[in-house]
C-alpha cells in the first residue's frame, strides 16, 4: 500500500505524543489531545484505510486507539458521518 500520505499527517508535527501507546497506558488528557490532532488531519481518511488494510492493532491512528476487533467495525464506517 502506498504510504506517501504519511508525510502530510498532522501527527508528524507533534511526535512527542504517545501515538504508539496501548489504550489506557497514557493519561486521558493526552488521548484527548491526539483525538483533536486527528480530527483536523488532512489525511485522516487515508490513515483509516491504511490501518484497516494493514489490520494494525496497536497505537493511535485516525482518531482511535487500535486495540480491539471493534476497531475493524469502526473502520468500515465512513468518516464524514454518512452511513
pLDDT digits (tens, 9 = 90+) for 47-80: 999 998 998 888 999 998 887 554 544 444 455 5
- From CA 36, how far away is CA 31, in angstroms rounded? 9
Contacts for 9 with CB less than 8 Å, ≥ 6 apart:
41, 43, 47
What pTM does this model have?
A: 0.75
- From CA 43, how far away is CA 81, in angstroms rounded? 16
Q: Residue 57: what pLDDT?
A: 86
Query: Is 64 in a helix, a strand, or coil?
Result: strand
Burial class from Cβ neighbours inside 10 Å (0-12, 13-18, 19+) for residue 51 reads buried
Amino acid at each position: 500500500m502506498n504510504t506517501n500520505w504519511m508525510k502530510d499527517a498532522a501527527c508528524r508535527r507533534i511526535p512527542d505524543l504517545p501515538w504508539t501507546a496501548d489504550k489506557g497506558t497514557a493519561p486521558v488528557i493526552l488521548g484527548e489531545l491526539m483525538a483533536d490532532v486527528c480530527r483536523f488531519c488532512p489525511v485522516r481518511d487515508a490513515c483509516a484505510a491504511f490501518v484497516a488494510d494493514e489490520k494494525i492493532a496497536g497505537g493511535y491512528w485516525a482518531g482511535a486507539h487500535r486495540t480491539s476487533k471493534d476497531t475493524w467495525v469502526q473502520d468500515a464506517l465512513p468518516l464524514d458521518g454518512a452511513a
